[in-house]
A and B are shown apart, each in its own frame.
Chain A
Amino acid sequence: MFKHYILIGEKKYEFKEVFKDFFASQVVFAGKIVKDEYIAEDIVQDVFLKLWKSNATYQNEISFKAYLYLSTRNKCIDFLRANKLKASNIELAMDIEEEANLVLKEEAFRLLEKAIAQLAPQTKSIILLSMEGLSIQEISEKLNISVNTVKTLKSRAYKTLRANFGEIFILLLSPFL
């Protein structure tokens, strides 16, 4: 009786899962606009509250994400307008290209982070270290595993990760049917 779902395309997602998947990410996104993490958190809470009450259905994942980012953005702008002291931020927030770029980066980071989080611990450290620019040799020394193991784990992980990005339309969480 307390279950709440979000309908996206033909699929039904548990609200809780969607919340856990997007909440922190939306706070980071909002924080870039309002420049205050606590205010960002309040704003995103309100966004989810609206989402909860709306009971809307979304055509597909892209529509849903666009709605989410846009709601957060609009609430941020509302806040900035009410708070005229931060006029300079309104300017930043008003630039559409700039905003779209924030969305692009946040969503890419979110996908990347979520896909990496699903890797086994050792593979995860290899990917994170190689993203920091360490060579296979350096990673092998740092983690105390053979060069060949690093190579194998790394290429296997890339395959998994890229396959995940390929299915970007999927929220990377399993729908509750």
Chain B
Amino acid sequence: MEEKFRQAIEEAGSLADKMLIEPQEEFVSEFNVRKSKLARINVDKKWINFWWRVNYKRVVSMSAAAAVITIFSTFLLNFKNDGFEQAVVQNHVSLMPATGSVVLKLASGEFVELDSAAAIENKLSGVTIDAQKGVISYAQDKSSKDLFANSKVFKPEYNELSVPKGRSFSVVLSDGTKVWVNALSKLYYPVEFDGAERRVKIEGEAFFEVKKNEKIPFVVETKTYSVKVLGTKFNVNAYSEEKSVATTLVSGSVEIPGVNGASVKLTPGKQFKMDKETKNVSLEDVDTELYTSWMNDVLRIQDSNLELILNVIKRRYDVEVVVQDLSLLNEKFTGKVPLNDNLSVILEQLEKVSDIKFAIEEGRLIVRR
């Protein structure tokens, strides 16, 4: 039996070669069936499960520091460990998330700081702001349209919401669609939707919970491509420093029209990415929570490299990042860290699970081995 199996394995290479050079229908269809089976198995998740299964007892029996666990070349972070967070603050200069103002640019060209909420509510009827919760909402009933029309400052045209470093903010548009806008991002939208489609533009990152209306599609425009939706929840990451623009679908369905002529339809759990330069596209199954945790001011990562983490830090904290050894950017981490706490909470945890050292000097975050 074993001999038969050994033989089969030895022959596999030449069969693979044959399938490539003279593809036969039978193998091609089987190859495709197999591919769809593989797509249903999330190996990263299975690995985590397996890892816990074999290491659970050791982890639990370890001391408090065990909350941070090295997973092979990857690292697992866990910030819900009290003894740990305290040790953190002593070693690093305290640095809380940046606190710029969220600014709304009105159609008139006038800028209004949303933190002084009272001011704007006076100017714009039909608009309510809860700065503490970070929400601005536009009235959804018809009568408010008249109020808008009568308002002196305001014309039913476009507003632009700019969220600074260190913040996130959400807006309820006039159709009831809710948009969470991440740090260092801009949302450009009409105060009142009219016409055949509901079109908004995003720079940076936002999560959309689109109010269903099959007659009037909702379109999100980025500099690289647009996303067309009927009613759904999804995340768009179009930060200028990222190599590609990623759309992650949580529920419902969205369409990316006109990519190389054909449009691409996403189903829940899929992530569509387009490289900004090469325009190469990819469609993958992802754990959507990894791409939406920022709404709760948490960074959740799985096998992500340090570069991604540093990019997020740059958007949340007022620091310049200096990396002394670029190879460090490829170090991989798994776990979650808070984004609304002292920066040192993140740094100390990264240090605990890797050989990387962080120091904050004169507003610069130095990363070295």
Q: Which of B40, B43, B69, B282 contacts A20 (CB 8 A)?
A: B43
Residues of A within 8 A of B261 (CB): 144
Q: Which residues of A contact B53 (CB under 8 A)?
A: 45, 49
Complex Cα distance A66/B10, Å? 10
Inter-chain CA distance A168–B9, complex, in Å, is 9
Q: A16-B71, A16-B73, A131-B31 are in contact. Are A121 and B9 (CB under 8 A)?
A: no
Is the Cβ of B72 less than 8 Å from the Cβ of A112? no
Q: Is the CB of B17 within 8 A of A162?
A: yes
Which of B18-26, B102-110, B248-256, B341-349 contacts its partner?
Answer: B18-26
Q: Which of B11, B31, B37, B38 contacts A104 (CB 8 A)?
A: B11
Kindly state whether residue A105 has any CB partner on chain B within 8 Å.
yes
Residues of B within 8 A of A27 (CB): 37, 41
Which residue of chain B has the shortest Cβ distance to A5 in the bound complex? B72
Q: How many angstroms from the CA of A109 to the CA of B15 in the assembled complex?
A: 9
Query: From residue 48 to 72 of chain A, which have CB atoms closer than 8 A to chain B?
Result: 48-49, 52, 62-63, 65-66, 69-70
Q: Is the CB of B16 within 8 A of A112?
A: yes
Q: How far is the CA of A168 from the CA of B4 in the complex (A)?
A: 18
* A113 to B70 CA separation, bound complex (whole angstroms): 30
- Given known pairs A28-B34, A121-B280, the reply for A100 and B8 (CB within 8 Å) is yes
Give the complex CA separation of A13 and B303 in angstroms.
18
B61 proximal to A (CB < 8 A): no
Chain A residue numbers with a CB within 8 Å of B30 are: 105, 109
Q: Told that A2-B71, A24-B41, A66-B9 touch, could you supply 4 new A-B pairs with CB distance under 8 A?
A: A16-B47, A19-B43, A24-B43, A45-B53
Main secondary structure of the interface of B (DSSP, over half): helix
| Bound: A25/B37 CA distance, A | 9
Question: Roughly how many angstroms separate A121 CA and B47 CA in the complex, as a whole number?
Answer: 26
Minimum CB distance partner of A21 in chain B = B43
Take A69-B9, A165-B14 as given contacts and tell me if A1 and B70 are in contact as well, using a CB distance cutoff of 8 Å.
Answer: yes
- Measured in the bound complex, the distance between the Cα atoms of B35 and A148 in whole Å is 29
Interface digits, B61-72 against A, CB 8 Å rule (1 contact, 0 not)? 000000001111
- A103 contacts B20, C-beta separation under 8 Å: no
A101 to chain B: which residues have CB within 8 Å? 8
Interface pairs A-B: 10 shortest CB-CB = A168-B13, A107-B12, A108-B15, A104-B8, A103-B8, A100-B4, A121-B280, A108-B16, A165-B13, A112-B16
List 7 interface pairs A-B (beta carbons < 8 Å), by A numbering. Answer: A20-B43, A70-B1, A120-B280, A122-B278, A131-B20, A133-B28, A168-B10
Contact at A23–B5, with CB atoms within 8 Å? no
1/0 contact string of A140-174 vs chain B (CB within 8 Å): 00011000000000000010011001101000000
On whether A2 and B55 interact (CB within 8 A), knowing A20-B47, A23-B46, A23-B47, the answer reads yes
Which of under 10, 10 to 19, 20 to 34, or 35 or more describes the interface residues of A? 35 or more
- 0/1 per residue, A54-98, Cβ < 8 Å to B? 000000001101100110010000000000000000000000110
> Is A111 in the interface zone, CB < 8 Å from B?
yes
Q: Give the docked Cα–Cα distance between A99 and B6 (Å).
A: 12
Decide if A100 touches B73 in the complex (CB within 8 Å): no
Q: Which residue of B20, B34, B72 is within 8 Å of A3 (Cβ)?
A: B72
Interface residues, chain A, with chain B CB atoms under 8 Å away:
1-4, 14-16, 19-20, 23-25, 27-28, 31, 37, 41, 45, 48-49, 52, 62-63, 65-66, 69-70, 73, 96-97, 99-101, 103-105, 107-113, 115, 120-122, 127, 130-133, 143-144, 158, 161-162, 165-166, 168
Asked if B90 is at the interface of the complex by the 8 Å CB criterion, the answer is no
In the complex, the answer to whether A2 meets B70 with C-beta atoms within 8 Å is yes
Contact A14-B5, Cβ < 8 Å, known A131-B20, A165-B13, A166-B13: no
Interface membership of B82, Cβ < 8 A: no
Q: With the chains together, A31 CA to B12 CA distance in Å? A: 19
Q: Known contacts A69-B5, A133-B28: does B19 contact A108 (CB below 8 Å)?
A: yes
Q: How far is the CA of A173 from the CA of B47 in the complex (A)?
A: 17
Residues on A with C-beta less than 8 A from B132 are none
Tell me which residues across on chain A come within 8 A of B54, comparing CB atoms: 4, 49, 52
Cβ contact of A28, chosen from B28, B38, B72, cutoff 8 A = B38
> Which single residue of chain A is at the shortest CB-CB distance from B44?
A20
Q: Are A96 and B38 in contact (CB-based, < 8 A)?
A: no
For residue B11, which residue of chain A has the nearest CB?
Answer: A104
Chain B residue with Cβ nearest A161: B20
Does B12 contact A108, Cβ atoms closer than 8 Å? Answer: yes
CB distance from A47 to the nearest CB of B (A): 11
Contacts of A97 in B (CB 8 A): 4
| Residues of chain A within 8 A of B69, CB atoms compared | 2
Contacts A48-B50, A143-B260, A158-B20; is A105 near B37 (CB within 8 Å)? no
With most chain A CB atoms within 10 A of its CB, the pick from B12, B38, B261 is B12
